[in-house]
Amino acid sequence: MKLQFLAGVVALGLAGLAHADGFVNGNFEAGSTAGWTTGGGDRSYTNNASILPSQFLPGGSLNQDSGSRGAVIDGSYVDPNLGSLIGTTVYSGKYAYRAEDTIYGGLATVISQKVNNYTEANIYFAWKAVLENGGHVEDESALMMLTLTDDTTGKLLINRSYNAGYTGGGVDSRFASYGDLFFTPNWQVEQLSIDQSLSGHSFTLSLLAADCEPTAHAGYAYLDGFGSVTPPIPEPTTYGMMLAGLGLLGYMARRKKSA
Tens digits of per-residue pLDDT, 111-139? 999 999 999 999 999 999 999 999 999 99
Q: Is residue 50 part of a domain?
A: yes
Using pLDDT thresholds of 50, 70 and 90, give the confidence band for residue 49. Answer: very high
Helices marked H in the chain — which ranges?
A: 2-18, 236-258
- Do the beta carbons of residue 142 and residue 164 sit within 8 Å? yes
CA 256 distance to own-chain centroid: 48
pLDDT at 257 over 80: no
Q: Are residues 213 and 156 in the same domain?
A: yes
pLDDT at 233 over 70: no
Mean pLDDT (whole number) for 34-49: 96
Q: Is residue 52 part of a domain?
A: yes
- Do the beta carbons of residue 110 and residue 207 sit within 8 Å? yes
Instruction: Identify the sign of the CA torsion 130, 70, 162, 210.
Output: positive
Give CA angle at 41 (156, 166), nearest 5°.
Answer: 70
Using pLDDT thresholds of 50, 70 and 90, give the confidence band for residue 20. Answer: low
Using pLDDT thresholds of 50, 70 and 90, give the confidence band for residue 22. Answer: confident
Q: What pLDDT is recorded for position 8?
A: 45
Most confident of 18-32, 189-203, 235-249: 189-203
Q: Are residues 94 and 222 in the same domain?
A: yes
Q: Is residue 7 part of a domain?
A: no
Mean pLDDT (whole number) for 11-25: 58
pLDDT at 11 over 80: no
Domain range for 68: 20-228
Q: What pLDDT is recorded for position 109?
A: 98
Q: Are residues 58 and 140 in the same domain?
A: yes
Q: Is residue 8 part of a domain?
A: no
Q: Are residues 247 and 158 in the same domain?
A: no
Which of 165, 207, 209 is closest to 41 using CA atoms?
Answer: 209
What is the rounded distance in angstroms from the CA atom of residue 235 to the CA atom of residue 158? 28
Q: Is residue 3 part of a domain?
A: no
Q: Are residues 153 and 236 in the same domain?
A: no
SS3 label, residue 145: strand
Q: Are residues 117 and 98 in the same domain?
A: yes
Give residue 219's identity as a one-letter amino acid code: G
What is the rounded distance in angstroms from the CA atom of residue 147 to the CA atom of residue 101? 20
Q: Are residues 220 and 243 in the same domain?
A: no
Q: For all residues of the chain together, what is the average pLDDT?
A: 86
What is the rounded distance in angstroms from the CA atom of residue 184 to the CA atom of residue 87? 9
Share of the chain above pLDDT 90, in %: 78
Question: Can you give the pTM of this predicted structure?
Answer: 0.84
The CATH number linked to 149 is: 2.60.120.260
Q: Are residues 199 and 242 in the same domain?
A: no
Half-sphere exposure of 40 (CA within 13 A, CB side): 21
Mean pLDDT (whole number) for 179-196: 97
